[in-house]
Every structure is written in C-alpha cells, then in structure tokens.
Amino acid sequence: MSDFIPKQVEQYLNNRAEKKWLVENKGNYFRTVIVVPAIKEHDNIPKLLTSLSKNEPAAIRNTSILFVVNNSDEKSKEVIDENILTIELLLKLKSKPNQYGLNIDFIDAASENKCLPRKYAGVGLARKIGMDQALYYFDYSKKGNAIVCLDADCEVDANYLTEIQKYYDDNNHTAVIKYEHKLDNEAIINYEIFLRYYVLGLKFAKSSYAYHSIGSCITVSPITYTKIGGMNKKKAGEDFYFLEKAAKQGKINSINTTTVYPSSRKSWRVPFGTGQRITRYYEKVRDEYILYNADSFVVLKEILEEYNNEKTNDPSEILNSAKSISKALYDFLINNQFESALNKIIENAATVEQVNHQKKIWFDAFKTMKLIHYLRDNGYTEEPMFTSLNRIFDLYGINDFNKYILNDIPPVEKQIEYLDLMRVLT
C-alpha cells in the first residue's frame, strides 16, 4: 500500500476486512484491480485471460487481475483437486512474465486450512476477500482507482480496461458495465429478457434502483467500497445487496461503452441466478415464459411520484393517494408500517435533503422488489412474456417495433429481436 492511506480505508482494513486470506503487495500499485472468484474454473481462466490480453497495453500495465480460488472443506474431491490445479496454473502465471502480458495474482482460499468456512462459503465471501485485499494495491495519492468484479467464465471487449479507467478518471460513483450473454441457447435468451424487463420497468417508474445487479459487471472506487462497509458474505444475491448499499450513497451509473459477456452455462455454484435459472428452464419446473404484470410498474411509478414529491410529506395524504392508485399498494404500505416510518424520518431530519435521503433509503431496492412481488400475489397476476413486453413497450411509447401478437411463444429469431431492443433501452 502507498505511504498515504485515507483514514477511512485504514479503519476498514483494521475493523472490517477479512484477515485470514492475505496477499503480499511489494510496492506494485495499480489503478484498476479486477477481482475474480474462481471455483472449479481451470479451463475457463485461459479464455478470460485471453480476452483481457487484447486490451490496450497502457491499460493492462495499470491493471492487476486478482483471482480468489475458493471452496469449502465440504466440497467434493473433484472440486478441490481442480482448484489445486488452478492455483498451480496461477502460480506459474504470477511468478514470471506470462504469455498473456497481464499482471496476475491470486489468493488461496482452497487449500487445506485455507478453505472458506461452510457457513459463509460462496461467491459473496470470495468477492469480499478479493475486494478487501484489492485495497492494498492502490496509490491513494492518485485519482482514478477502481475495484472491478468479474467472473472466471466471462469474456470482455478489447476496450474493457480503457473504458473503466476513463470512467474513473472523472467519476467516483459506483457503476455497472454493460453486459450481453452469449445467446447460444433458448434458456439464456429467456433469462436475459427477464432481467432486462425488470430494470426496464424500474426505469419507467423512475426508481433510484433501476440498474442491473450483475456481479460480474460491478465497479466501485476503493473509497466508496469502504464507505458502504465492503462486500457482504451472501452465498447468492451479493451483487443485489452491495449495489443497493451503494445506491443509497449516490447514483449508480452505467458504463455502456464496453461489454462483459457472462457465461450461459448451467451451474451449481449459487442457489439462484443465471446458472440456476438455466437449469430450471431445462428441467421445466415452471413456466418460464411469464413476466410481472406491466401494470405493477405503473403502480410503482405513481406511488413514487407521490412519495418523492417534497411538498407531500404527510403520510396520511400519501396513503390516501396510494388507496386511490391501488388497494394492494395501500395494503402493502400499511403492512410495512409506512406511516410511522415516514413520521420518524421527518422528526429526525434537519433539512429537506436529509428527508429526501432517508426516504430513498426506506423505499430501497429490496422494498421495491417486495412491492412488485406483493402486487403479483394480490391482483396483478403475471402475464405471458411477450404480452408484458408489448405492454411495457407501449408504456415507453415505442410504436415502430413489429410486435408479436399471437398467443404462443415466438420463434427464437423474434425473441432475439425483442432482446436486442431491450439491450438498447436498458
């Protein structure tokens, strides 16, 4: 670490950082540290490194790739053995100039006595270990530092590093990078439509939490990382809760000038997310071609307009408006003690700015999702996927798109047309 350490970073490292898994940085400082959790990824890592190696040499020199090879001691011998092979591979790439021309380092959280504890073993803790240790790699006397999350089964554009560094030249705001799954199966088309539809609905409603929660697309400055308390240890959904905390501090921006290409494979690594959804699609557990009712985002939009109106901080008035918007919305607010929560915010805030900030914190990403789910279960029944998509496009005033209006599922080519438009909109 550099001689100058911001007090906030020092306090975080002393009080909140993981201490068992450490790296030794001998005075090599970087602008960008990419943290990559890896469990049973020996064959994917060369593909990732090859895509990173195609970036600009100057951006590569300013970047360190920090792998966190991890498993719990309860994982199968097959997983543990492959992780040991991964460590051997990374040791070779670290110890001498490598064929990729990249700065590579790793943390061993897979060997005996270094495994992750069973209670927390998962992607959240693996990311946290790497992001905590990334704090040692920065020269804090210079601006433009960034911690970047990536996954071992991803690939990236050739301008990936350049665009991240360009963004952090002028920004301290947390950002998510544009993503596109490789559309090599129908399941991933279905899942990416689902992901983008939810964000599209939040954008329509003008929610502060209208961003993509994709772990392999997160970027954050080290100061912001420590300010929000670091990554959480959740075994899945760590990206959602991390970005929610960041959004409560400031706007989440998008880096749309480069792209991450996540894998579309089945996976056992997390209990939900891409891999689990792909598996579920093929196992036909449920109908995957349904989406939230588009009217639920109209309800969200209308209540946020009332809730965010600085001239309307009377909870009774807002509740009356909610009742006129939707009985289910009103019930949701009552069930979540809305009136007492807003009264407490007003009592404890000294300025309008503080009131607005606390209101944003109360109606956060999780509560927003809970509302959409409550509406789904109370009168706003899910609809066929392409019915919902047509309706959300109508809400956006999109009239020049050739909508599919039959009751069955459209051909794959048409599904991709829908997804291509959604990629532009989100």
CATH code at 265?
3.90.550.10
pLDDT band at 271 (very low <50, low <70, confident <90, very high): very low
- The pLDDT tens digits for 363-410 are 999 999 999 999 999 999 999 999 999 999 999 999 999 999 998 999
Q: Which of 283, 303, 326 delimits the end of a domain?
A: 283
pLDDT at residue 27, rounded to an integer = 79
The mean pLDDT of 118-141, rounded to a whole number, is 95
Distance of CA 231 to the CA centre of its chain: 11
Same domain, 30 and 91: yes
pLDDT at 58 over 80: yes
Would residue 362 count as lying in a domain? yes
- The pLDDT tens digits for 317-360 are 999 999 999 999 999 999 999 999 999 999 999 899 999 999 99
pLDDT at 188 over 60: yes
Same domain, 258 and 298: no
Residue 253, judged by CB atoms within 10 A of its CB (0-12, 13-18, 19+), counts as middle
pLDDT at 298 over 80: yes
Same domain, 266 and 317: no
* 93 contact partners, CB below 8 Å, separation of at least 6: 49, 100, 102, 104
pLDDT band at 4 (very low <50, low <70, confident <90, very high): confident
Same domain, 305 and 405: no
Rounded distance between C-alpha atoms, residue 425 and residue 377, angstroms: 28
Rounded distance between C-alpha atoms, residue 87 and residue 90, angstroms: 5
Would residue 288 count as lying in a domain? no
Would residue 110 count as lying in a domain? yes
Q: At what angle do helices 123-134 and 238-249 cross, to 10 degrees?
A: 50
Same domain, 278 and 318: no
Same domain, 335 and 392: no
DSSP state of 116: B
- The pLDDT tens digits for 72-86 are 988 788 999 999 999
Rounded distance between C-alpha atoms, residue 386 and residue 405, angstroms: 8
Rounded distance between C-alpha atoms, residue 274 and residue 265, angstroms: 8
Determine the structural domain holding residue 361 and report its residue range: 294-377
Would residue 389 count as lying in a domain? yes
Q: Which of 339, 358, 377 delimits the end of a domain?
A: 377
* 278 contact partners, CB below 8 Å, separation of at least 6: 185, 187, 188, 191, 264, 265, 266, 267
pLDDT at residue 279, rounded to an integer = 82
Q: Which of 342, 359, 377 delimits the end of a domain?
A: 377
Same domain, 306 and 392: no
Would residue 64 count as lying in a domain? yes
Same domain, 186 and 59: yes
pLDDT at 180 over 60: yes
Would residue 365 count as lying in a domain? yes
pLDDT at residue 2, rounded to an integer = 58
Q: How many helices (H) and strands (E) does the chain have?
A: 18, 10
Distance of CA 299 to the CA centre of its chain: 25
Would residue 209 count as lying in a domain? yes
Same domain, 11 and 87: yes
Nearest to 111 by CA among 143, 167, 72: 72
pLDDT at 26 over 80: no
Would residue 270 count as lying in a domain? yes
DSSP state of 102: -
Same domain, 265 and 177: yes
Number of domains in the chain: 3
Radius of gyration of the chain (CA): 23
Beta strands 32-38 and 146-149, pairing class? parallel
pLDDT at residue 269, rounded to an integer = 44
- The pLDDT tens digits for 192-240 are 999 999 999 999 999 999 999 999 999 999 999 999 999 999 988 999 9
- The pLDDT tens digits for 74-123 are 878 899 999 999 999 999 999 888 999 999 999 999 999 999 999 999 99
pLDDT at residue 122, rounded to an integer = 92
Rounded distance between C-alpha atoms, residue 183 and residue 356, angstroms: 41
Same domain, 407 and 373: no
Nearest to 181 by CA among 161, 146, 151: 151
Beta strands 63-70 and 155-156, pairing class? unpaired
pLDDT at residue 266, rounded to an integer = 55
pLDDT at residue 50, rounded to an integer = 98
Same domain, 329 and 231: no
pLDDT at residue 75, rounded to an integer = 75
Nearest to 48 by CA among 172, 180, 179, 157: 157
Alpha-carbon separation of residue 186 from 285, 409, 410 (angstroms): 16, 12, 11
Rounded distance between C-alpha atoms, residue 119 and residue 72, angstroms: 9
Give φ, ψ of 320 to 5 degrees.
-65, -40
Place of tokens 């705001």: 173
